[in-house]
Copies of this chain bind each other. A is one copy, B any other.
Amino acid sequence: MNNFTHSIPTKVYFGKGQIKHLAELKESGSKVLLVYGGGSIKKNGLYNKVYSILRTAGLRIYELPGVEPNPRIESVREGVKICKDNKVNMVLAVGGGSVIDAAKVIAGGALYGGDPWSLVIHPRYILKALPIYTVLTLAATGSEMDSFAVISDLSKHEKWGTGSPLFKPVMSICDPEYTFSVSPKQTAAGTADIMSHTFENYFTNVEGGYLQARFCEGVLKTCIKYGPIAIAEPDNYDARANLMWASSNAINGLLSDGAEVAWCVHPMEHELSAYYDITHGEGLAILTPHWMEFALNEGTAAKFAEYGRNVWGIAGEDDMEVAKAAIERTREFFVNELHIPATLREVGIEDEKYFEEMAAKAAEGSKGSFVPLEKDDIVAIYRAAL
């Protein structure tokens, strides 16, 4: 097991009716920037509830609506400007990972002299940030409890992850009921995202992270059990609750601390989203089985077999056979049970035009991952997924 520092400062209020705790925001000052997305929170009444609690607590509210899926640096710049112009004290994200990620970089940008894109490219420039609060409406990225943010500059086909301990939210309200209205497509993509975060930690070559591996298997089993239930019964509370709590724990350090390697499927997918603006979780689900097939070899078969036996309950003595069966079950799960497209073509990527360019960047971003990935390997994975 590696050395690690474990720090989860975020206080999570989990469950029905926890929104009332938003009144605690007044501990951070009197002016809040409310960041949200395309307006679904106006339709379902959450916006009015948030607004009313904040106003009753005596807070002055500034708003940044319209944050995109794959959030863009332009929105971040707009939020930063509002914060600076009005000396805002804190940022409240109401939404999914995209909204929270934008809010984080806004919180950093508000106390930074230069352009916030620098904070995306150079995480070490993040030296201060406004306090960040979240109300979660989608179980997926785990941004409600972690230090990361992913921001795109689509004008340059760039999508990068950044992060800082200062980006860990002070408080997150996680009410599974707010995810009842999430569509089957987004529920599936979110489930695939949680699973991918877990795979990125589970497939490690650090030895001795036994407990972490068992925790990973717990998160994977939870996604496998409850993803399809949440799709079939959108208002099944326990399904939504388990997915939501899995999303937070998949990426808050619990699974990675002591057994960290560099991620690889995420960097590959970030290029797909940067060039084609596809849904992140769908890209991950499409790439994952192909990455697994690439990564499977005599040296890694035991780890994939461990996955097959402990997560899927696949019997058998031969590691390679169990490993292959596990990869096939993973593919079938994404396609047949989560109903996610199996190929890049199905999400609108028709040709190989940018594969070399994308693979070069992804190879850079995945250095030090479970199995080494060269540019050509990634091109081959993209092709296999086409």
| A interface, CB within 8 angstroms of B | 1-9, 11-18, 176, 207-208, 210-211, 214-215, 217-219, 221-222, 225-226, 237-238, 241-242, 245-246, 249, 254, 257-258
A191 vs B70: C-alpha distance when bound (angstroms): 46
- Chain B residues within 8 Å of A215, by CB: 215, 218
Determine if B15 and A242 form an interchain contact, defined as CB atoms under 8 angstroms apart.
no
Determine if B5 and A210 form an interchain contact, defined as CB atoms under 8 angstroms apart.
no
Determine if B211 and A258 form an interchain contact, defined as CB atoms under 8 angstroms apart.
no
- Chain B residues within 8 Å of A221, by CB: 214
A11 vs B168: C-alpha distance when bound (angstroms): 14
CB distance from A136 to the nearest CB of B (A): 13
Determine if B9 and A14 form an interchain contact, defined as CB atoms under 8 angstroms apart.
no
A4 vs B222: C-alpha distance when bound (angstroms): 19
Determine if A12 and B6 form an interchain contact, defined as CB atoms under 8 angstroms apart.
yes
Kindly report which residue of chain B lies nearest to residue A254, judged by CB atoms: B254
Kindly report which residue of chain B lies nearest to residue A212, judged by CB atoms: B245
Kindly report which residue of chain B lies nearest to residue A9, judged by CB atoms: B9
Q: Which of A13, A218, A249 has the most CB of B within 10 A?
A: A218
Q: Could you show 20 A-B contacts with beta carbons less than 8 Å apart?
A: A1-B15, A1-B176, A1-B245, A2-B15, A3-B15, A4-B15, A5-B12, A5-B14, A7-B12, A9-B9, A14-B257, A207-B238, A210-B238, A211-B222, A211-B245, A211-B249, A214-B221, A217-B218, A249-B254, A254-B254
- Chain B residues within 8 Å of A217, by CB: 214, 218
A130 vs B66: C-alpha distance when bound (angstroms): 46
